[in-house]
Amino acid sequence: MTSSSRSSNIPWVDSLATNTNTNDRSTQISIFSWNVLAQHLFDQTQHWYTHVPSDSSVHSWPERFARILHELSQSEADILCLQEVEFDAFDHDFLPSLQKIGYEGMMQTTKKRASSHGYGVATFWKSGRFQMQDASHRSRTMITTLQDKHTDNILATINCHLEGSPQEYMKRVKQLQNSLTELSSKFSHHNLVVCGDMNCNLASSVCTTYLQLGCIPKEVEVLEWGRQVSLSHSNLPPPHQYSLHPAYPIKLAMEEPTEYITYVSSPGNCAVALDQIWLHNNSTSYSKTNNSIVNVVGLKHPFHSRDQQEILATGLPSELHPSDHLPIGCIIEWTSNVAKELCTKESNDVISRKVTMTAKEMISEAMELFNACCFDSKDRAELEYIITPVLGLPEKGKPSKVQLEELKDRRIKKQGLMYKVSDEARQMLERGLKLLKDADKSKKI
């Protein structure tokens, strides 16, 4: 199934069909994401599409939908996340057609049906594989929680079509933050996929910084569309609680951008990595042998094998490509049993430590783990700052404003350090920090 790699270490695949032979160790799940170009937007902005001949069948929605449906069915993906789906098209075209080939689906809230903004995101899933548990609708996003019938695990998906104006980077971040906050507070799930049309470049953007680091540090310099942006610290979104990694590596968008073009407008005008897939996992990798919770085992190349130069030369949409966006997708290997084993082990360790270890022993073991991490002097100094207690914290009651700022700064520094270090070092850090936390709790008992 894997095609010859255009880029080193990238597992390009021709199909997103997954392994149906499940076992005790892993289950594959595939995600497909595509902005399909709402017909009324195409009709109302013809000045953007003067490269499309006026007599072309591309102007016909039935013709375009036939090509869209062909692409969706050929993908064989388990979950389809679509953007710019019109409400009427969902009811009369997408849902009935996809139901015939084994999918169920949900459209974003219908509050805007009567407005000029008559489209939203729509998520579909193989009905033989998943049972929808719940859904939540936000501005520009939709959350669905799906139960895998093979494993009983719960997968949460956030399907996004973020704010499109290049200057509105804080709106995009706020849209992500609202969904991540709601998901973590309301829904129980074992894993998370965030995907869709992000309207920003994966290589450098405020959204990338927020998703990857979990926050927007005060000292970070962020480029948005090649320009350094000015961030108002009083308006920064609160941190999120997930460990998110892009399925398509950032290095690809930076070093081989022609391999990750997902949007083509007029001839010669294109954008890299607008469409993205993010996975929650403490150690996402491209290796099937890594003992992690989620492995990326396949990535869909946005272009078909032989038409990249033609698309760039003629622009989109075209007779063969019905949208100005190109679809992306990935196959992940969800090692659910490993996740359960790790959770059980952690729970047992916590119980064991509480029963058999003193606070002093916990602190000693944590220091041994920290000393075993391969850090440079700067990272080690940062770790020492992170684990140094804030002076004068009250045992009961609310910390002072200064203390809250210090706690926030330590949290941001910790997230930044976790991002920089290796997977092995991250695991040791997490275990060491947990031991320190347990030691502090035991002192107060």
Are residue 120 and residue 160 in the same domain, yes or no?
yes
Give whole-number Cα distances, 305 to 16, 56, 68, 311, 333, in Å. Answer: 15, 24, 18, 12, 25
Question: Strands 27-35 and 79-86: what pairing?
Answer: parallel
Terminal Cα-to-Cα distance of the chain (whole angstroms)? 57
Do 224 and 284 reside in the same domain of the chain? yes
Torsion sign, CA atoms 253, 256, 259, 265: positive
The pLDDT value recorded for residue 214 is 86
For residue 9, the model assigns a pLDDT of 81
Using DSSP, state whether 331 is helix, strand or coil.
strand
Q: Does some domain include residue 343? A: no
119 plus 73 within the same structural domain: yes
* Residue among 435, 144, 414, 156 at smallest CA distance from 281: 156
Q: Are 406 and 390 in contact (CB under 8 A)?
A: yes
Same domain, 365 and 311: no
**Domain ranges, residue 383:** 357-444
Tell which of 304, 337, 370 closes a domain: 337
- Please check whether residue 349 lies inside any domain of the structure: no
- Cβ atoms 74, 329 nearer than 8 A: no
Q: What is the pLDDT of residue 342?
A: 34
Choose the final residue of a domain: 289, 307, 337: 337
Residue 209 resides in a domain: yes
What pLDDT, on the 0 to 100 scale, is given for residue 196? 98
* Helices and strands counted in the chain (H then E): 13, 17
Q: What are phi and psi of 47, to 5 degrees?
A: -65, -15
Number of neighbours of residue 128 by Cβ within 10 angstroms = 11
192 and 318, same domain (yes or no): yes
Do 118 and 218 fall within a single domain?
yes
In a domain, 1, yes or no: no
Cα–Cα distance measured from residue 33 to residue 75, given in angstroms and rounded to the nearest whole number: 10
Q: What CA–CA distance (Å, rounded) separates 156 from 135?
A: 9
User: What CA–CA distance (Å, rounded) separates 67 from 361?
Assistant: 64
Within this chain, do residues 239 and 368 fall inside the same structural domain, yes or no? no
Would you say residue 7 lies in a domain?
Answer: no
Q: What is the CATH number of the domain that holds 237?
A: 3.60.10.10
Per-10-residue mean pLDDT of the chain, 445 residues long, equals 58 88 68 97 94 93 97 97 96 97 92 70 97 92 93 91 94 95 84 96 94 81 87 77 91 92 94 96 50 79 81 93 97 62 39 60 82 76 88 81 86 80 72 84 66
Is residue 59 domain-shared with residue 180, that is, in the same domain? Answer: yes
Q: How many domains does the chain have?
A: 2
Beta-carbon count within 10 A of 430 CB: 15
- Inter-residue contact 29 to 155 (CB < 8 Å): yes
Give the C-alpha separation, 67 to 52, whole Å.
16
Regarding pTM above 0.85, the answer is: no
Same domain, 195 and 230: yes
Residue 362, in any domain of the structure: yes
pLDDT of residue 64: 97
Domain presence at residue 236: yes
Measuring CA to CA, how many Å separate 333 from each of 8, 127, 191, 201? 20, 19, 12, 26
Same domain? For 371 and 234 the reply is no
Measured at the alpha carbon of residue 69, what is the angle toward residues 68 and 70, in degrees to the nearest 5? 90
Residue 66 within any structural domain of the chain? yes
Single out the residue in 337, 372, 388 at which a domain terminates. Answer: 337
pLDDT at 286: 52
Distance CA 79, CA 329 (A): 10
pLDDT recorded at residue 106: 96
Query: Are residue 265 and residue 393 in the same domain, yes or no?
Result: no
Tokens representing residue 312 in the block: 């760039």
Co-location of 78 and 170 in the same domain: yes
